[in-house]
Amino acid sequence: MAQELATLAQETADRLAGKHVGVVVAALAQDAVEIRGAGLTGAAQGGAPGPDTLFEIGSVTKPFTALALARLASAGTVGLDEPLADLLPDGTVVPTRDGSPITLRQLATHTSGLPRLPRGMLLQALLRPSKPDPYADCTAEALLSGLARTRLGATPGKRFRYSNLGAGLLGLALARRAGTEYEALITREICAPLGMADTLVTVDAGRAERSAQGRSGRGRPVAPWHLADLAGAGGLHSTATDLVAFVRAQLDGGPPELAEAIRLSRSVEHRKSPFAWVHLGWMAHRLHPRQGAHLQIWHNGGTGGFSSFVGFDPEKGVAVIALGNAQRPVDRPAFDLLRTLQTRYADKPA
């Protein structure tokens, strides 16, 4: 199995590297895992990316934020249906609609009714299209001031509406309740139990040497994104090695201290259609019977110079991770690989 898995991972990495500067692909099937890279890191030291190359993972951060919510909810520190306003500074104005407040559950399932971006950010992007980091000014003060002037597009809990603002506010609120910073919260609640040493918001000097250089869709170097206090929406950096540990916990239930939170995160479900739904932090769908009726749980991500994908099938015990250092989606080849693994390794012995 290992050789075949390695070949499939390398083929996908090579396929992606044709449109990216560098790519790392991880393929998991049962107890086997193979990680392969292709292309170049794009950094000064050059070389091919590998298992321990750091990438901005963008919105793949959201499952981490949601799992932190599930962890704190399991411990009784917060309630899934606790209003967001209860976790923010006194006097913060949080919008409501039809008398319904925004809850933490709704932030993690994109059903809060909040818009995709913080108030004024779209206008700022239009006025300053060359700004290297569009989220740099998203401080807590700016976010909460804008929140008070934000109108909800739907009654909370009624409709799926993807929101970076909502996920970022969730991370900010959880960190406040836990009495720490967002990065420290994720390290304590998720990374430490899973032995993930390279998943973090701020890359220190030592890790910077292992960081890929982000590139635009045209291959030009771009500055890193720093999401300030909106980090819970997409501010993490990580490696294929760390993300393997993260997704393996989704497949096997995780260590004892995380098991209840993982179960809780996947027991919450908001239906988008008969075949697609959202869990706490994860998107999910079931393929048509003609495609095998396989379950795919996933999230993708993108920043100014990076793209990412994590997807898995807990029923078949397979998963795929794809990380690229260019602003071009890695989704299509990653989904293709996931489906291949679902078909080939469903009942094959290790």
Per-residue model confidence as pLDDT tens digits over 29-87 = 988 999 999 999 987 666 899 999 999 999 999 999 999 999 999 999 999 999 999 99
pLDDT in tens, 76-120: 999 999 999 999 999 999 999 999 999 999 999 999 999 999 987
Strand stretches in the chain, DSSP E: 22-29, 32-39, 55-56, 237-238, 270-273, 276-278, 283-286, 295-302, 307-313, 318-324
pLDDT of residue 252: 96
DSSP letter for each residue of 241-273: HHHHHHHHHHHH---HHHHHHHHHHHH--EEEE
Token digits for 189? Answer: 């609640």
pLDDT band at 183 (very low <50, low <70, confident <90, very high): very high
In three-state secondary structure terms, 100 is strand
Half-sphere exposure of 103 (CA within 13 A, CB side): 16
Give the closest residue to 103 by CA, choosing from 172, 176, 182, 170: 170
Share of the chain above pLDDT 90, in %: 87
Domains of the chain, start order: 2-344 (3.40.710.10)
pTM value?
Answer: 0.96
Q: Which of helix, strand or coil describes residue 40?
A: coil
Summarised one tens digit per residue, pLDDT across range 117-142 is: 998 775 455 445 556 788 989 999 99
Which of 11-20, 97-106, 262-271 has the weakest average pLDDT? Answer: 11-20
pLDDT at position 263: 98
pLDDT of residue 349: 43
Q: What are phi and psi of 54, to 5 degrees?
A: -90, 135
Write the DSSP string, 268-330.
Answer: --EEEETTEEE-SS-EEEE--GGGT--EEEEEEEE-SS-EEEEEEETTTTEEEEEEESSSS--
**What is the reported pLDDT for 126?**
41
pLDDT in tens, 204-239: 999 999 999 999 888 889 999 999 999 999 999 999
The strands making up 307-313's β-sheet, listed across from edge to edge, are 32-39, 22-29, 318-324, 307-313, 295-302, 283-286, 276-278, 270-273
Q: What's the pLDDT at 47?
A: 85
Give CA separation, 39 vs 11, 165, 269, 322, in Å.
Answer: 12, 34, 38, 13
Percent of the chain with pLDDT over 70: 95
Gap between the Cα atoms of 10 and 314, Å rounded: 23
The confidence band for 250, taking pLDDT boundaries of 50, 70 and 90, is very high
pLDDT of the residue at 180: 98
pLDDT at 347: 57
SS3 category, 160: coil
Model confidence pLDDT, tens digit, residues 281-313: 999 999 999 999 999 999 999 999 999 999 999
How far out from the chain centre does Cα 8 lie?
Answer: 24
**In this predicted structure, what is the pLDDT of residue 124?**
56
